[in-house]
Structure 1
Amino acid sequence: MEMPEPRAFWLDEQFDREHGSDGRGRYEAEVLRRIDEFADAWGDIAPVAFAATAWRLAGELSPGFVRWHRRIISATCSRSPWDGSMVCAVTLVSRWPAELTWTKQWQRDRGWRDWPQVFGQYTTPSEQDRTRSPHLRAMLQVDAPVPLGDLPPAPDGPDDSVAAAARRAVTVLARELNDLLAPMVGQLEAGVPADS
């Protein structure tokens, strides 16, 4: 039986609604509070700058409006300086590369440790842990283009449409990044080589 693919990214709509105020969700209120941060995107023919700002604000809430799998350390979306398209940079926790697991000879009995975990969440080694044993924390860096087709147009200015457009942009980006990275996260979670 095939295991379902884990989600890499999703929106926490329920927490957002339950912890909002004045009939607004937390994210909508945050967008309106920080509306000046969208100023460079008003009326832009491309939706990229607006969507990148919307994504950043969604991740800066605590807890974030955008949530991600425990293997994902960071996820940014930005305008490419090359051509103005949308690109993402995502860092994921990985297992040690096969070259280092094939034999333990390189370890020389030094007690090398992998990523520490607390209640299933990957963490950085504490200062105390770092004085007791060496740690090797493998990461994968994903840099990829993000399709623009479904992103909403950038609003013309700070009006009532901004919060809804920001929410739509974040929804689209979360979906696109999930489609891109969920198979990779699933493979990392499975911990076995993929079928040929």
Structure 2
Amino acid sequence: MQQVFWLDTRYDREAGRDAAGRYAEMLAANIAEFDGTWGDIAPVGFACAAWRVATPPISSPGLVRWHRRVLSASCVRNTWDGSMTARVTLVSPLPEPLTANRTWWRDRGWQGWPEIFGQFVEPAQQDLAKAPHVRATLLVDAPLPLEGLPAAPDGPDDDPADAAHRALAVMVAGLNELLSPLVAQLEGVS
């Protein structure tokens, strides 16, 4: 199965100042992200805060890493029922109506997604000044299962690092189960 998300624990240990790792340091520095989640009977708010701290822009590079087609990934509490919703933006090929007939192209030098060392990137300002760009994306909004999420700690003194790591592992597994077939299809892997 294609891995779309993973935890880079090796980098985390190597980049940390002590045995706890870099993510534990990021948690301590961004403990305010967890305000309102301590002791919550639903683990969703705590898990979403753990995700925010483990991903850009708070943590770059993040403990959570993702496939080259993933531009952004966030998790939020669904306001309707309190469940967890993932929002993931993926790089996509152009939709078929744009590739079936290229009359719209008309020698204008249209460009797609630039890649640097295989990674999709935003075009540079100098490139945007030279040629038009058309970059397709897919926006995935999907529920994530709550099974396996740890309970929210009662407070910051309860050492939230272990619970945050466990929450991230559950979320990564859920996202991989959901998105691996989609990304494999986009990559042309059968």
Q: Which amino acid aligns with 1:57?
A: V
Partner of 1:12: 8
Q: Take 1:168 and 1:102, find their aligned partners in 2: how far apart are those partners?
A: 46
Q: Report the Cα distance in structure 1 between the residues aligned to 2:138 and 2:26, rounded to whole angstroms.
A: 31
Separation in structure 2 between the aligned mates of residue 22 and residue 68 of structure 1, nearest angstrom: 25
- The separation in 1 between residues aligned to 2:114 and 2:170, in whole angstroms, is 33
Aligned residues: 188
- Aligned equivalent of 2:31, options 35, 45, 49: 35
Q: Once structures 1 and 2 are overlaid, which stretch shifts more, 152-161 or 116-125? A: 152-161
- Percent of aligned pairs with the same amino acid: 55
The answer as to 2:111 corresponding to 1:113 is: yes
Output the TM-score relative to the length of structure 2: 0.94
Cα contact 1:28–1:167 (8 A) shared by 2:
no
- Residue 31 of structure 1: how far off its partner (Å): 1.2
Letter in 1 for 2:61: P
The answer for the alignment partner of 1:162 in structure 2 is 160
**C-alpha distance in structure 1 between counterparts of 2:122 and 2:30, whole Å:** 31
Matching residue of 1:55: 51
Structure 1 position 81, deviation (Å): 1.3
Look up the equivalent residue of 2:125 and give its one-letter code: E
Structure 2 gaps, min length 5: none
Structure 1 residue 175 corresponds to structure 2 residue 160? no
| Aligned CA-pair RMSD | 1.3
Q: How far is 1:28 from its partner?
A: 1.4
Moved more, 109-118 or 86-95: 109-118
Residues 93 and 139 of structure 1 are in contact (CA less than 8 Å); yes or no, is this contact kept in structure 2?
Answer: yes
